Amino acid sequence: MPITEILEQNASKYGNDIALVEINPDIQDTRRVTWKEYELIEPEHTSHYRREITWSVFNEKANRFANMLLSRGVNKGDKVGILLMNCLEWLPIYFGALKTGALAVPLNFRYSSDEIEYCLNLAEVDVLVFGPEFIGRVEEIADVISKNRLLIYVGDNCPSFAEDYSSLTADCSSQTPDITLTDEDDAAIYFSSGTTGFPKAILHNHESLMHSCKVEQNHHGQTKDDIFLCIPPLYHTGAKMHWFGSFLVGAKSVLLKGTKPKTIIEAVSNEKCTIVWLLVPWAQDILDAIDRGDINPDDYELSQWRLMHIGAQPVPPSLIARWKERFPNHDYDTNYGLSESIGPGAVHLGVENTHKVGAIGKAGYGWMTKIVDEEGKEVARGEVGELCLKGPGVMTCYYNDPAATAETIKDGWLFTGDMATEDEDGFIFLVDRKKDVVISGGENLYPVQIENYVRAYPKVKDVAVIGVPDARLGEATLAVIEIKEGMECTREEIDEFCLKLPRYKRPKHVVFADIPRNPTGKIEKPKLREIYGGSSLVAKQNRG
């Protein structure tokens, strides 16, 4: 069943119920401090801070956008790029594109002008929808990209090189377009995170999107009464596909603009959120803010919050131990996936398996897994190999890149590039990206294992381990360590803490600096290699 039919069903069954809420703390009413005060504020004082739409309005807006596109010659198989920050317009535009039979093509909000142009060309995008945050970047390339594309602007004060979204859709029909869609029809193109170089265009069909809905709802048991807090950017499969579980059952979701600890806790409290998906840095920041006394959980209504889950990167067991101390009544879960596997859930820990924190889990709902060696043969349990996935959510291909597709999909199996091992109970543990393995003196070192150990030191907020050139060993490990706010740390402290590690796993070099992460929380190791991988390493090491 095409995913657009879920929206039609929700509009029919739950038309007057709230579907989406947008919270913008940048213009927050100063009186919004606690949940009790929140409920006393008059609606006219909150219109800019908080916007909401019902399922009926959601569907109508999607239909108006779809009918506008059809009137402008957009047809089945065309591509509609979406370059927006999280907002109420985002998802109606996404579904409006799908309703025409076109493909939705979300774009990373961090892309430079050159990257935007590159991705538009790679995916052969016919329409670009963008918001006010991107006027400058789009203007730089407008003369080039507008020659064969429709540019649509969402927001106030439409620039001269684009057409206004509100004006274009205002008089369009709110009826569902008469377009036949099937599970096999192409639905969306997502871009790889770019941590390995220029992004690839990842093509998915409607079956993939529907499978993602089923996987998420099966894993986390969303009901109509749940309220999901969505913080990560919607352009990424991780955010949208976690939302899909709520979408499938017609539950309300909150789109939060902002990642500050107090902002997140206030949103959970004010909106009565029951499910929150966090990235590792945000969870760490919340716990640190509580430890410093910046946040007192007793000041907020948090009793309804039932599930905190994390994905997009390896999760330090020490972090979850801290979280369970602060929030003992929370269920915890982690999910593993890639944009190539339509986001999270291909591997799933399960709330009943918190004793296995550190593992990413077992094959998710409808998925199969295997771990293979360089020849593609399955390795024995306990041995390290490349994790492979198979299921209805595997991408169709890398768009316009048959060579990369052939390298990644073999006999229906998706080769993830992640190195993993399976324990005696069948739980899978990530050890690192294949390309990030450090070979030092003939030993394979897996940075994630070292990172998890160092991150347990009380003064450490974050850590990233990379390989750097070494004349004797070939490569040596460098630990880039970010210290918690207000604390000081020395190389000697780190060395002493690491004495329990085998000698070959102890970081040979240490640098104290901020850890760069992309919007989905993944450490940007190519950026760290660029900074620290050269001959000036020795001059940089051991600062702190």
CATH number, domain containing residue 471? 3.30.300.30
Q: What is the mean pLDDT of residues 364-386?
A: 94
pLDDT per position as a tens digit, 420-457: 999 999 999 988 666 777 767 556 677 877 888 898 89
**8 Å CB contact between 2 and 50:** no
Cα–Cα dist 58/222, whole Å: 20
Q: Could you tell me which residues come within 8 angstroms of residue 269 by beta carbon, excluding any fewer than 6 positions away?
A: 34, 35, 38, 300, 301, 302
- Which residue matches tokens 């959120």? 273
pLDDT band at 48 (very low <50, low <70, confident <90, very high): low
Higher pLDDT, 474 or 242: 242
Among 250, 240, 253, 252, residue whose Cα is nearest residue 208: 240
Please give the pLDDT value at position 36.
33
Q: Which long-range contacts (CB under 8 A, 24 or more apart) does 159-165 make?
A: 159/135, 162/130, 162/138, 165/65, 165/89, 165/129
**Spatial distance between the Cα atoms of 301 and 104, rounded to a whole number of angstroms:** 37
Please tell me the distance from the alpha carbon of residue 233 to that of residue 240, in angstroms, as a whole number: 8
CA–CA separation, 494 and 507 (whole Å): 9
What's the chain's average pLDDT? 88
Distance, in Å, from the CA atom of 13 to the CA atom of 55, rounded to the nearest integer, reads 9
**Residue 485 resides in a domain:** yes
Q: Residue 214 falls within a domain, yes or no?
A: no
Report pLDDT digits (tens) over 233-262. 899 888 889 999 999 999 999 999 988 999
CA distance 467 to 438: 5
Report the pLDDT value the prediction gives residue 541, as an integer from 0 to 100: 46
For the ranges 33-37, 87-91, 414-418, the one whose mean pLDDT is highest: 87-91
Two tokens at 416? 């993830």
Per mean pLDDT, which range of 69-73, 150-154, 272-276, 291-295 is the poorest? Answer: 291-295
Average pLDDT of 35-52? Answer: 50
pLDDT above 90: residue 295: yes
The pairing of beta strand 186-191 with beta strand 201-205: antiparallel
34-38, 385-389, 466-470: least confident range: 34-38
Is 359:348 a contact under the CB 8 Å cutoff? no
User: In total, how many domains does the chain have?
Assistant: 1
Residues found in the chain = 544
Residue 28 burial class via C-beta count within 10 angstroms: exposed 0-12, middle 13-18, buried 19 and up: middle
Range of the domain at 513: 437-540
Burial of 377 (0-12, 13-18, 19+ CB in 10 A): exposed
Q: State yes or no: pLDDT of 537 exceeds 70.
A: no
Banded model confidence at residue 46, pLDDT cuts 50, 70, 90: very low
CA distance 151 to 162: 5
**Given the structure tokens 């709110």, which residue do they identify?**
174
Q: What is the pLDDT of residues 491-534, one digit of tens each?
A: 999 999 999 887 878 899 999 999 887 766 677 887 888 888 75
Q: How far is 458 from 448, CA to CA, in rounded Å?
A: 18
Cα 389 to Cα 403: distance, rounded to the nearest angstrom = 19
Q: What pTM did the predictor assign?
A: 0.82
**359, part of any domain:** no
In the predicted model, is pLDDT for residue 181 greater than 90?
yes
**Quick check: 471 pLDDT over 70?**
no
pLDDT(304) > 70: yes
In a domain, 536, yes or no: yes
Q: Which of 395, 477, 368, 474 is nearest to 432 (CA)?
A: 477
H helix or E strand, kind and range, residue 345: strand 343-348
- Interval 52-67 mean pLDDT: 97
Residue 37 scores a pLDDT above 80: no
101: left (phi over 0), alpha (psi -120 to 50) or beta: left
Average pLDDT over residues 275-283: 88
DSSP string, 106-173: E--TT--HHHHHHHHHHTT-SEEEE-GGGHHHHHHHHHHHTTSSEEEE-SSS--TTSEEHHHHHTTS-
Q: Say if CB 388 and CB 415 are below 8 A apart.
A: yes
* Average confidence (pLDDT) over 277-284: 86
Band (pLDDT 50/70/90 cuts) for residue 28 is very low
| Phi and psi angles of residue 409, each rounded to the nearest 5 degrees, phi first | -110, 120
What span, in angstroms and rounded, lies between the C-alpha atoms of 537 and 509?
9
Give the C-alpha distances (Å, rounded to integers) separating 473 from 150, 334, 405, 442.
55, 36, 35, 8
Q: Token pair of 214, please?
A: 């089923």
Considering only CA atoms, give the Rg of the chain. Answer: 24
The values of phi and psi at residue 106, to 5°, are -70, 145
For residue 509, tell me if it sits in a domain.
Answer: yes
d(CA 79, CA 123): 8
Domain-located, residue 467: yes
DSSP class of residue 354 equals G
Terminal Cα-to-Cα distance of the chain (whole angstroms): 57
Look at residue 229 and tell me if it is in a domain.
Answer: no
Residue 42 has pLDDT above 80, yes or no: no
pLDDT tens for residues 185-212? 999 999 986 544 578 999 999 999 999 9
Strand order in the sheet with 163-164: 163-164, 150-153, 127-130, 79-83, 103-106, 186-191, 201-205, 397-398
Within a domain: 506: yes
